[in-house]
Amino acid sequence: MLEALVEARLALRTGDVPVGAIVVTESGERLAGGRNERELHTDPTAHAEIVALRTAARARGTWQLQGTTLIVTLEPCVMCAGAILAARVDTVVFGAWDEKAGAAGSVYDVLRDRRLNHRVEVFAGVRADECGQLLTDFFRES
């Protein structure tokens, strides 16, 4: 989570919401990182998770990311949860809950929906206070 927090802080340089993500292999090797880049690229899909998944897929040479874990500072939204499922990520670890748009257990639970053909193991609340404070500070100053 510390590396994801570094990515989140980098998003502040471009005026983006400070959310960061990394993708690691089963052995814990960092495969990719990403941060929110919506403002930077004027791209509504450039969430930290999407950026990290795209980079990981390029690094692996395939869109199939079985055997990986996505670590992200904020609970994924519906769009990101869909991308996580499509990429076949095994595990998601997130920091702060997103009570307005979260799709990993708060508002929705897309990642563990039994109707879908892939389910993700989810670990929530890792360094939640630190991740949440970064967002609180950003929105207070905006």
What does 105-132 look like in DSSP terms, one character per residue?
TTS-BGGG-TTSS---EEE--TTHHHHH
What residue segments make up the domains of the chain, in order of their start? Answer: 2-141
Q: What is the pLDDT of residue 33?
A: 99
Enumerate the β-bridge partners of residue 109. Answer: 104
Confidence grade of residue 142 (pLDDT, cut at 50, 70, 90):
confident
What's the rounded Cα separation, in Å, for the pair 32 and 24?
Answer: 7
Q: What angle do CA 32, 100, 42 make, to 5 degrees?
A: 50
CA distances from 45 to 32, 80, 116 (A): 17, 9, 22
Please state whether beta strands 68-74 and 91-96 pair in parallel, antiparallel, or not at all (unpaired): parallel
Does residue 49 have an active-site annotation?
A: yes
User: Is the model's pTM score more than 0.85?
Assistant: yes
pLDDT of residue 5: 99
Percent of the chain with pLDDT over 70: 100
pLDDT tens digits, residue range 65-103? 999 999 999 999 999 999 999 999 999 999 999 999 999
Q: What is the mean pLDDT of the chain?
A: 98
Q: Is 2-141 in CATH node 3.30.1330.50?
A: no
Catalytic residue among 7, 37, 49, 75: 49
